[in-house]
């Protein structure tokens, strides 16, 4: 069983549309959709925004659905100049950029675990699945939607991700993150907490982030539309290849 999580239902709506033999389970104000997707047994859930919500959802998913692997998918803001809207980041190391338990621990270090970051599983297969999706991009993404969001030639990058309970929307905050965590290339609100829960339960974890904005003062994109028409269909195409 593979668990698939997103922060918003719009980010996995295309997957829900393809889910077969669907069964729903209501727990903790969440709806878990189990069934088959591209001949794989899966359970889909949207966690809501933030580290607490995503950690609670992940824990429930592991304890109640006997998952062998968890994949998080959704949007993120770029904090690296090489990333553009529509690009894909496959996460490598997940940092909590708002975690600071000093002087007892170093900044960003997870108490007790004594880790500054949590590493995802080997990403070779997921990166190839993403590159394959990009080669067949027009089979999944409407041309008008691409033009509206100024997506030209999307690419995939394998890199570090910073998570925190705040929406990053200023150049000053980006510069601060670039200074504190120079290897991170995008920022979001859930990935590192999901990674930590998966580490503690010894569950392989992967994360797919689609760049929706540059996380700067101009981050005024229609997130709901982007998530539904772009990110959701990216997830569909990528996971179709990954499950093959």
CA distance 210 to 154: 10
Residue 215, pLDDT score: 67
Catalytic residue among 119, 165, 213, 222: 213
CATH 3.40.1710.10 fits 74-242, yes or no: no
Note if 139 is an active site residue.
no
Omega before residue 80 within 30° of 0, cis: no
The overall average pLDDT reported for the chain is 95
Say whether pLDDT at 88 is over 90.
yes
Question: Is the C-alpha dihedral spanning 44, 45, 46, 50 positive or negative?
Answer: negative
**pLDDT tens, position by position, 21-39:** 999 999 999 999 999 999 9
Residue 30, pLDDT score: 97
pLDDT class of 244 with cuts at 50, 70, 90: very high
CA angle centred on 185, ends 176 and 228, rounded to 5°: 115
**pLDDT tens, position by position, 35-84:** 999 999 999 999 999 999 999 999 999 999 999 999 999 999 999 999 99
Using a pLDDT cut of 90, give the percent of the chain over it.
Answer: 91
Catalytic residue among 11, 109, 160, 188: 11
Note if 11 is an active site residue.
yes
**pLDDT tens, position by position, 171-188:** 899 999 999 999 999 999
Contacts 24+ apart (CB under 8 A), 56-61: 56/28, 57/5, 57/28, 57/30, 58/3, 58/5, 58/193, 58/194, 58/197, 58/198, 59/197, 59/201, 60/27, 60/28, 60/30, 60/32, 61/3, 61/5, 61/32
Say whether pLDDT at 221 is over 80.
no
Q: Where are the domains of the chain?
A: 74-242
Say whether pLDDT at 216 is over 70.
no
Number of neighbouring beta carbons within 10 Å of residue 219:
16
pTM: 0.96
- For every residue of the chain, which 3-state class applies, written as one string? CEEEEECCHHHHHHHHHHCEEEEEEEECCEEEEEEEECCEEEEEEECCCCHHHHHHHHHHHHHHHCCCEEEEEEEEEECCCCCCCCCEEEEEEEEECCCCCCCCCCCCCECCCCECCEECCCCHHHHHHHHHHHHCHHHCCCHHHHHHCCCCCCCEEEEEEEECCCCCCCHHHHHHHHHHCCCEEEEECCHHHHHHHHHHHCCCEEEEEEEEECCCCCCCCCHHHHHHHHHHHHHHHHHHHHCC
CA distance 194 to 58: 6
């Amino acid at each position: 069983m593979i668990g698939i999580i997103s922060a918003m239902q719009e980010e996995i709506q295309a997957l829900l549309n393809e889910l077969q033999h669907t069964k729903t389970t209501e727990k903790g104000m969440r709806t878990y959709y189990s069934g088959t997707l591209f001949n794989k047994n899966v359970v889909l859930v949207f966690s809501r925004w933030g580290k607490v919500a995503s950690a609670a959802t992940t824990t429930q998913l592991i304890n109640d659905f006997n998952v062998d692997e968890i994949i998080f998918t959704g949007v993120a803001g770029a904090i690296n100049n090489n990333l553009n809207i529509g690009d894909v980041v496959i996460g490598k190391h997940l940092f909590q950029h708002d975690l600071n338990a000093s002087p007892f621990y170093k900044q960003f270090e997870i108490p007790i675990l004594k880790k500054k970051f949590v590493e995802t599983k080997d990403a070779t297969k997921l990166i190839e699945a993403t590159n394959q999706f990009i080669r067949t991009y027009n089979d999944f993404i409407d041309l008008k939607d691409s033009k509206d969001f100024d997506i030209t030639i999307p690419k995939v990058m394998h890199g570090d991700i910073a998570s925190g309970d705040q929406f990053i929307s200023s150049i000053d905050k980006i510069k601060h993150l670039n200074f504190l965590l120079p290897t991170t290339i995008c920022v979001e609100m859930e990935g590192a907490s999901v990674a930590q829960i998966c580490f503690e339960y010894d569950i392989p974890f992967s994360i797919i982030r689609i760049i929706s904005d540059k996380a700067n003062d101009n981050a005024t994109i229609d997130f709901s539309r982007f998530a539904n028409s772009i990110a959701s269909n990216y997830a569909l195409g990528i996971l179709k290849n990954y499950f093959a």
